[in-house]
Amino acid sequence: MTYHTLLFLLTAVFAGAAVMAGDLLIGAIMLALVSVGTSLILFDFFAPWAAVFELSVCAGLITVLFVGAVSLVRGSADADARSRVKFMVLPLATIMAAIVLWFTLPSFFETLASGARIASGNNNPIGITLWDIRRADVLGQTAILAAGVFVIKSIFPRRNKAQ
Amino acid sequence: MINSFALDWYFIAIILFIGLYCMLVSRSLLRQLIGLEIMSKAALLAVISSGVLTNNLSLAQTVIITMIVIEVVVVATGLALLAKNFRVNKSVDIWDLKGLKG
Amino acid sequence: MERGLLAYILIPLLSAVIIPFAARNKPRLADILANVTLLAGLSNLAYLLLNANSFAEVPGDGFSLLMVFTIYLVALCVVFFSAFFAGAMPNRQAYYCLLLTSVAAMCGVVTTSDFFTLYIYVEVLAVTSFALITTDDTSAGLEGAIKYFLLTFPASVFIIVGLSLLLLSIGSFSFESVQLFLSAGMPGGTVLFAMGLILLGFLIKSGIVPFHAWTPDAYQGSFSPVSAHLAGIVTKVSGVYAIIRISMLMRLSEGMAEALAGTLMFLGMLSIIVGAIAALRQKDLKRMLAFSSISQLGYIVLAAGLGTPLAIIAAIFHLFNHATFKTVLFLNSASLEHASGTTDMEKMGGMEHAMPWTSWTSVIALLSTAGIPPLSGFWSKLLIIIALWAGGAKVYAMLALLFSIVTLAYFMVMQKKIFFGKKSEAAETASEVSAPMLAPVVLLSAVIITVGLLFPWFYTYLVETIAKRMIL
């Protein structure tokens, strides 16, 4: 329980650090740490498949993409560098929001949780769930991967010989 | 003592708040994307938390795997737009996007 | 996912994968392949819809079938138009791949019966839209795409949180389980909260008034044939379709969802008002059409919020009509841009002599939008107003009627500025676009007139075949 809460707290802190980082590269690394924290929470929830996906794809691949983008825009002026105040206010704003939310949200979430309906223990292996129950999603994943490829092809066209 | 689900969702709400705050105040497109990522992490945690509470982990995990696949494509698209914008306008500041008005 | 309609998703997707390989050395082959794919799908669907025997054998909801037909109709017109549109298009193959993928995604959205699958296809659709908007590499297009991107994905977060609450309270995302749960009369506070979050996400995605900031920019900045695709069908499928579906489900909860339905109706009315008033003072043609689109969307959402069977039928009918007339108007704006080199209405004028076909198809489409009698738009607006009156929302009915006159006003201003009036410099040099580029708008105008004139038959058809197979 405490370990679990600590993980959530850590993820929130990393998220704040990612936002506040003056250097975008540090922001990208903090974002990777947010992913790692999420992945640890998933492990803690006994969801190993999702955790491995999160760790390899979000903490790995997306971080690589972000770092690439950061190095691309490095030379330009960082528009946020001029007014750092609104980022420095973030911890204060978050703490205030946290205090206000503490008195309102948990009871609301408990009401929501009272509507929970416990599933009838159908803990099939993940592959079976994906293939038998959510087969339409597999087609959707194929479609979005195809769309991603076409988007990249369209936004970065191969240079013609003439150009 | 509040129950574990409510505590999880309380933290999720805070993470969501941080992401939203980031998207509201930043001018750099890259920070906007960071905020978006943080928000989608919060959404992902909401799904797994509901799945655990109802003892429906396999469905929750399937949903999360699909969400991660979507997230990668979305982030790649966003970064591709950013790179193209940088090439055309030499800037990643969203306040510079003022060409269209009416 | 209905297996009978799966082919309409798979075939465009397959075709999109084949195009880059097949058309590597012959660019025209990409045009031909895309057109043939969509034409084959459309003729198959037209056969299914018009033939009562075969219609009965197709599995699936009537609403889905009608939407698939509309998607193919609009997409075919856009693809055929862009094959002859001589605008700057750096990467022709990728453009067709993206268009076909977006058709597949839209068919996925409308044929699924599961909220999570619907969400996946909506994301596929959104991802393809950004790249389509930036097809011509202009900075306006990029601006529109980035604004769309920054508003549409936070909306997805709301949808996901709503879905996680569905998982919590029902344990499944399918329409049937939600319907069973709501009609069982159990205390459904959590489910209704989830529905509210999902609805909020889709309202942002469809560009209803408090969330409409991105719509005009995206439509104005995008590559011209793509704005027709976006305004005609993409934003309707990615947002409004889900809203109509959810209000069909919420009606079953017998009064528990009244607050949600009331909010929906209020936002719909607000969209009608703000869209119409903003459209009156626009100078750019595409931007004006975008605001008009927001206003028409308001009618659909208003009717969907009311949620009586007649209102739902009216909303679906108006969705179909909106797809036809808005596509005509945006394709004509693309033709005008092509002929005169600008979309600024002040710089055009007297184009009627140079481009008679474009002018007259625009007149048909705008009269239909404004709700002038024999045309199709009149009947759907009439149905919406009758449904509102019968449903007890008399103030909304009067306002809807009033703002349909404002619609006529801004379209008359537009028509006068662009086509009539004294000849401008642009009109001296402009000439009518080629016949293949006119074919799609003439076809759609014919659809508008036919549906309008044969309305009694069409209404019977709508009620007896399409609506019979929906849960109303």
User: What are the tens digits of pLDDT across the range A46-102?
Assistant: 888 899 989 998 888 999 999 999 888 887 767 676 777 788 888 888 888 888 888
Nearest to A115 among C9, C123, C190 (CB): C190
Q: State which of A57, A72, A87 marks the end of a domain.
A: A72
Are residues B99 and C160, on separate chains, in Cβ contact within 8 Å? no
- Structural domain contains residue A135: yes
- Structural domain contains residue A112: no
Q: What integer pLDDT is reported at residue C271 of this predicted model? A: 93
Residues B32, B43: Cα–Cα separation, whole Å: 17
Q: What integer pLDDT is reported at residue C306 of this predicted model? A: 87
Nearest to A38 among B19, B45, B52 (CB): B45
Q: How far is CA B78 from CA A2, A55, B29, B41, C210, in A?
A: 37, 21, 9, 17, 24
Nearest to A140 among C91, C124, C170 (CB): C124
For residue B30, the chain A residues in CB contact (below 8 A) are: 24, 27, 66, 69-70, 73
Q: What integer pLDDT is reported at residue B11 of this predicted model? A: 92
- Structural domain contains residue A107: no
Residues C10, C7: Cα–Cα separation, whole Å: 5
Higher pLDDT residue, A44 or C186? A44
Nearest to A154 among C17, C131, C188 (CB): C131
CA atoms within 13 A on the CB side of C38: 29
Nearest to C167 among B23, B51, B102 (CB): B51
Task: Reply yes or no on whether the pLDDT at A163 is more than 60.
Answer: no
Q: How far apart are the first and last CA of chain A?
A: 61
Q: What integer pLDDT is reported at residue C296 of this predicted model? A: 92
* CA-based nearest distance C114→chain A, Å: 9
Q: How many domains does chain A have?
A: 2
For residue C130, the chain B residues in CB contact (below 8 A) are: 77, 81
Nearest CA in chain B to A135: B62
DSSP-based helix, strand, coil % in chain C, nearest 5: 80, 0, 20
Residues C228, C37: Cα–Cα separation, whole Å: 20
Supply the pTM of this predicted model: 0.93
A 68-87: CB under 8 A from B: 68-70, 72-73, 76, 78-80, 86-87
Nearest CA in chain B to C125: B74
Q: How far is CA A119 from CA A48, A112, A122, C129, C140, in A?
A: 20, 16, 7, 38, 50
* CA-based nearest distance A49→chain B, Å: 7
CB contact A68 to C (< 8 Å): no
Task: Flag residues of chain C having pLDDT under 70.
Answer: 1-3, 52, 86-88, 90, 185-187, 252-255, 471-472
CB contact A153 to C (< 8 Å): yes
Are residues B45 and A79, on separate chains, in Cβ contact within 8 Å? no
Residues B64-91 have pLDDT tens digits of 999 999 999 999 999 999 988 888 888 7
Nearest to A140 among C108, C170, C190 (CB): C108
Q: State which of A72, A92, A113 marks the end of a domain.
A: A72
Residues C32, C19: Cα–Cα separation, whole Å: 10
Are residues C94 and A157, on separate chains, in Cβ contact within 8 Å? yes
Average pLDDT, chain A: 84
* CA-based nearest distance B97→chain A, Å: 13
Nearest to A147 among C95, C124, C165 (CB): C124
pLDDT tier at A162 (50, 70, 90 boundaries)? very low
Residue to test with chain A: of C3, C124, C161, C168, most A Cβ within 10 A: C124
Query: Does residue C72 contact residue C45 with C-beta atoms inside 8 Å?
Result: yes
Are residues B53 and C131, on separate chains, in Cβ contact within 8 Å? no
* Interface chains of chain A (3 or more CB pairs under 8 Å): B, C
Q: A1 with A68, same domain?
A: yes
* Interface chains of chain C (3 or more CB pairs under 8 Å): A, B
Locate B87 and state its tokens: 């090439």
CB contact C2 to A (< 8 Å): no
Q: Distance between alpha carbon B31 and the CA centroid of its chain, in Å?
A: 11
Are residues B80 and A151, on separate chains, in Cβ contact within 8 Å? yes
Q: State which of A11, A37, A72 marks the end of a domain.
A: A72
Measured over the CA atoms of residue C256, residue C258, residue C263 and residue C269, the dihedral's sign is positive
Are residues A62 and B70, on separate chains, in Cβ contact within 8 Å? no
Question: How does DSSP assign C311-355, residue by residue?
Answer: HHHHHHHHHHHHHHHHHHHHHHHHHHHHHHS--BTTT---HHHH-
Are residues A146 and C16, on separate chains, in Cβ contact within 8 Å? yes
Burial of C460 (0-12, 13-18, 19+ CB in 10 A): exposed
Residues C254, C370: Cα–Cα separation, whole Å: 34
* Interface chains of chain B (3 or more CB pairs under 8 Å): A, C
Residue C423 neighbours by CB distance under 10 Å: 14
Domain that includes residue A55, residue range: 1-72
Question: Residue C108: in which H helix or E strand, if any?
Answer: helix C92-111
Are residues A137 and C120, on separate chains, in Cβ contact within 8 Å? yes
* CA-based nearest distance C141→chain A, Å: 12
Question: Could you give the ipTM of this predicted complex?
Answer: 0.94
Task: Flag residues of chain B having pLDDT under 50.
Answer: none
Task: Reply yes or no on whether the pLDDT at A123 is more than 80.
Answer: no
Are residues C149 and B77, on separate chains, in Cβ contact within 8 Å? yes
Query: Does residue C223 contact residue C114 with C-beta atoms inside 8 Å?
Result: no
- Structural domain contains residue A52: yes
